[in-house]
Chain A
């Protein structure tokens, strides 16, 4: 059976110690100035006197079931792995357009300054293969983050989801159907931004899309034919031609 990995977060025990952020940064060699995960916080209301409090909220890519980043990707590099539910970036396919970065209302992606491709949380795929928990989950002092398979009824996350009322942080107007569940009364809730698709992408949506796809497909065939023609053209003649061009 396919897995559906998710995180259940009890933000009421988060102490904002940054352990998850450093652990993640080390695990994935995330460059200075960039993060794959975060801790947000509420604004304290000091008029409450002795009951003034603050709430810290750990987060990261929500591995959405309605993933705007996947829809925004023109090359198929960003995809949702149906075996795990994790959203990955295939760097070999990425054209570096940056559409996915803008399309994520959680700002969970950044463009890697050296590789020029988007980077994001993938629930520590390599660690999962080794039988380890994601770096942020493993290191968390108060165990605010719990990771596991929602499809397994005996998993810790399934138990937590059963026993607790949970909320999901969604952007408006798009419900991204995130796989990050917060045990209720988490704060803040209103921070996700807009889902921004590039203008061209918006025009492509709807009925124009299939037509354009066919057109692109045809032109693709044309390009392929050109390639083949060039490949089978005699090398020397082409060199002469180049000289002429120079």
Chain B
């Protein structure tokens, strides 16, 4: 088994190296035809003229290509900005589209081979590594060793992994042109699924889905005695693959709006943006259904499901962010901060983001119905601020990039406005709670240590108090690591759910609150 694990690791590392190297192995040659193809009609003529000096030139790296593009294009825009001719400024970034069109290299000429040697090897290696590792280990050791691991305890490997992830997200959000060679290798898959070209988002969606699937296998093996963990892992893998990845692409193939049926406002923060609403309304019956479905999830789905099952029905069974956190992020869960201070920060931050999302959306809707007479383009500024600060920087760069530093639920705990909304329902109107088993707690602290949301579970358990916390995503790991069978996730009557005066069973001398 160790041999297979070693082979898996080698394949994984080779695949990662190929994946990382591919963007450096492409060259660029731009033609006027490409500019005509990739650029919107209103900018076409100007750009074709501006980029004249680049035609026929060969650029040996993405960086060289983008520098040339900037030096030809930027002065024009800068001049317009200096003249405050805002309506003539070209706000669109054509860097990615042009780089993708002009790129040449192995990923474009041999997409399948490159895909197999990069993502393919990562997946194969990852699966072998996990099967050989967890398949043979005793389940009693499932949680051991995390603090002796360089990767999982902020050692050198952890730092490298975090840095790599942060770098990847920064490039993905703000310098996607550098990923264009990688996008070429998934082009055939995109063509097959949606009938259209691949974007950086398609690449990201594919990688994301595969990551959840491979690490989902790890979860099923690690928790092979735990049906709850296996089922919820299967659930997140299913929702990611079908709802987040495949269905939206197929919708595009059928000429319908791209739509993720399980994404809910305010996590899906652009749901009420004017262009989204326009898309829904102009797409016939299905478009209208999407709009109504989305609204129903917000006003009925969240409160009703959360009432019966707690916010876990979404956060650790359905959500894509949660899906990644629970699979790829599982090995980092113990890095969350359990201090009271962190809890104080958490409450201000997550409810702050919720307030921001609500205000932004409210203004957007008011503006929409007043036909932009009220606030003009102000909401656009708000949208771009939110998209940058929350949608990209917080949810993406920090949310995932910080797994090896602050645990796997940084975004869900401190930033996700939907988690805040679900949490409010869970705290005040729900049947869900974590029950403690009488007086059996020995205060060992495994539950608190391994709580990804940084809840000090032990503080409740050791006084026989039910755990009712807005942040709990119901992952069930506290119940799993508990060596004394003290914790159980339950849905039950609201009466007696919150213990203000818990009493530990077992001492008949006195009845006192712990």
* A and B from one complex: no
| Residues of A in contact with B (beta carbons under 8 Å apart) | none
